[in-house]
Structure formats: structure tokens, C-alpha cells
Amino acid sequence: MRYARSGAVNIAYQVVGDGPVDLLYIPGWISHLDLYWEEPAVARFLHRLAAGFRLIVFDRRGTGLSDRVPDDELPTLEGRMDDARAVLDAAGSEQAVVFAQGYGCPLAIIFAATYPERTRALVLYSAIAKAGEKTEDYPWGSTPEEAEAWREVSAERWGTEEFAREWLGRLAPSAAGDPRQIAWYARVMRASATPTASQRFSEMNALMDVRALLPILHVPTLVLERKDVVAPKGGVDVSALEEGQYVAERIPGAKLVVVPGQDYLPWVGDQEALVSEVAAFVTGTRPAPEPDRALLTVLFTDIVDSTGSLAELGDQRWRELVAEHYILIEQALERFHGREVDRAGDGVFATFDGPGRAISCASEITREVRRLGLEVRAGIHTGECELDGDLVSGIAVHIGARIAALAAPGEVLVSSTVKDLVAGSELRFEERGLTELKGIPGEWRLHALRR
């Protein structure tokens, strides 16, 4: 993490990768560089950009790790554009591809018009040229009443998971039902801005109007849209494709590319299609597709004798205990950098990039859940998995599930693969012998973690 000085304001930025071409990414609304890397989908998106470029990403003034905007100041669009220049200067970049999303597009447009010699290319995703109230000649916006209602609601519910769930449902319908992403998005809201700061940010955005600059842009420009995105602006939803077409038609020589998808957030849905189009436009070649297989450690947990406990405790108390047990699991996954993939029955399926963290996480889960009067069994295996967006599948997943089913109450049972991978650590195991796993060829040697 570094800071660039823009006048009296400190702008947080990062440089990732060492590609031959610099790419400056300007996010759409709020952002938080630290929390970006804690969400696997966002981290993967940034890493994919950094695979072919030298990626420069920053938090705009008023949000994330950058300085807040004083109550008595409303920065001009030119001043905010100058933040991008300051970041490029600090990063030692003389010329960059400027890749902007949504509310970041007006900043990118004014930068490209002001510094064409420093703009190798302009990429506008979910492009807008005007924020604020809708007009007869620019209908993609809200009425004053709708904008005021939005400000009141956002101030009252800012940072709550209820608000994050509703907002994520509009920004990324594909992720709307994912509890992990909802919780992460609520954290981003709280960490990026207070309710007052978010209001100031909305006020700054409402002043943006760069329509007059579109005809005088003289840099290679790509307008990139997902076909079915409905973008939220000022509390109302508008057709991102229609607005993008308007922008593309008014920029000389601009290329409009429409890819399938309904998610406004670029890291949700088929992010590979977006990265591929950016690379093809700038370099003339498409990057190799990201491998769809990876070595992962899978963890499965399950509550022991859930039917008997339900009969003993009753529906209401049982639901409360299960909810508390999920909270403990979520906390453990966050601590040990695990990613929840799915919930089935009364358990969780999660993945880790290393077996040691998976074992430590499972050990903590079994210990903490016991305080609730419940026993959880856990199974762990490491193997090659198939990846399809956020979905994880393959024989390694089935093996992990079968191992978990054989674990005793409170036990963390692992495959010999896992045991071998953590050799040399302080972890100790007891052998459980050879066994057959239902539907899996051959015999498998299993080991139980010593408490």
C-alpha cells in the first residue's frame, strides 16, 4: 500500500504485476483496497488484470483508505481527476490504459481529454457520461424526489447486512443469495465510508456531467457492456446497455462490445470475458484462459445427531443453535482465510489454499461449537478441483465429503494426502487404518487429528 499526494489529500493506491503496459483501474462507487483482497472473486479479477498489465488501483478521495472529504468542501470533477494523475505520477507511470467502471467513467473521460498523451487507451465498463438527475436528453437517472429518498434510506441503513443484501441484489444478482458475499459487502460499506461520508460521495457523483467532452476524445476507446445489466443510479435502476450505447455513439471511433451477463460488478459472473476483451482491445491478443482446475484443500463439517437434537430441543431452540453454529464457522473461516462454497444439511463445505489452515480451522470449529452443546465432525482432503466461477467440484470434493461422513463426534479426520502435506509441522495424528469410501475407487488411509 502506498499513498500519493494530490494537493492536500492523500490517495491510497497499489501496484500489482509487472506487465509491459500500465493499466489504471478506477472503481465505480465505494472501494477499499485492503478488503478487496479478502474477497476471492475480487482478488481473482485484479490478479487476472495484473497477469497481462502492470495494474495500478486506488481508492478515490472520500472512500476506502484515502482521505475523507471535509464537510465544507465539494471537490470539482477536475480536482478528482487530478487524483488519478497524482497516482500515476507516484507509480512512475508515463502512459497507461485507463479502465473505469460506472461512476468512475466521467473521471476517466476527463482525464483522457486532458491528458491524451498519457492515455494509451480508454476502457469504459458500464459507461456513464452524466450522473445526478435525469433530463429529457439524458433519461438515465433519478428524479429529485427519488434521489432524496435514496439518500434518506442509505443514511439510515448504511452498512447493515439487510441493506447490503438488497444492494447486492441490484449490483450482482448472481451473488445476491451468497451469505458470505453479503457479509463482505456490508463490511466494505462500513469500512469505506460512514453514512455522512457516503452522502458526500453521492453529492460529488451527482455533479458529474462530461457529455460535452465525448466528441473531443481522441484516444482509442472501448465501451464494454454486459447485455442485461440493470445499473442502480440515484436509487433507481437504468439500462446500462442503453446508456453505454449513448456514450459509444458520441466518442469518435469508439468500439462497443457487448458480452452476456447481468451483473454490474465486474468480478461477479464471467469476469474472464471482460478481461479478455480489455486485453484484446489494448494488445490485439487475448490472454490464455485462466486454468479451470486448481489444487485446493476441501473441508466438510456436519452436526452430529442433528435429528435427535432437534427432537430433544424443539424447532425454535434448534434453529437458534444452528444459526449460532454457523456464525462460529464463519468467524473461523475468516480467521484462517477459508472460503465457504456451500451449505448442505447442517454443515459447511469450504476450501483453503493450504491444508494447515484447513486443519486449524476445523479444530477451532469443533472446539468452539462444543461450547454450544453440539458436536461437529469434520473431514479434510487435498486434491485437484474443477472451478466454474464460484463453484468447486471434482473427485477431490467427493472424497472430502466421504471422509467427513466417517469422522467421529468432535473429530477432524483427514486423508493421508493431507497428513503428508503437513509433515514437519506440530500437528499430530492417529491412524484410523484403511477404509473404502462410498463411490470412490480403491482403499483410503485415514488419520484423526489429536486433540
Same CATH topology for 2-283 and 293-449: the answer is: no
Which three cell numbers, joined as nine digits, stand for 168? 447486492
- Strand duo 119-125 + 221-226: pairing: parallel
Summarize pLDDT for 255-308 with one digit per residue, the tens.
999 999 999 999 999 999 999 999 999 988 777 666 567 789 999 999 988 767
Residue 415 has pLDDT above 90, yes or no: yes
Where do the DSSP E strands lie in 198-289?
A: 221-226, 230-233, 236-239, 255-259
Cα 61-267-221 angle, rounded to 5 deg: 70
Confidence label for 56 from pLDDT (cuts 50, 70 and 90): very high
| Level-2 CATH architecture, domain 293-449 | 2-Layer Sandwich (3.30)
Task: Please give the residue that has the higher pLDDT: either 372 or 197.
Answer: 372
Largest CA distance in the chain: 75
**Tell me, what amino acid is at 98?**
V
DSSP assignments along 294-340, one per residue: EEEEEEEEEETTHHHHHHHH-HHHHHHHHHHHHHHHHHHHHHTT-EE
What mean pLDDT do residues 86-114 have? 95
Helix (H) or strand (E) holding 106: helix 105-114
Residue 206 has pLDDT above 90, yes or no: no
Q: Are 205 and 103 in contact (CB under 8 A)?
A: yes
Domain ranges for the chain: 2-283, 293-449
Residue 233 has pLDDT above 70, yes or no: yes
Q: Are 108 and 131 in contact (CB under 8 A)?
A: no
Summarize pLDDT for 309-356 with one digit per residue, the tens.
766 777 778 788 888 999 999 999 998 989 999 987 788 999 998 899
Tell which residue, 31, 82, 63, 74, has the closest CA to residue 203: 74
Average per-residue pLDDT in the chain?
90
| Level-2 CATH architecture, domain 2-283 | 3-Layer(aba) Sandwich (3.40)
What burial letters (b/e) apply to 121-143, b meaning 16+ CB within 10 Å? Answer: bbbbbbbbbbbbebeeebebbbe
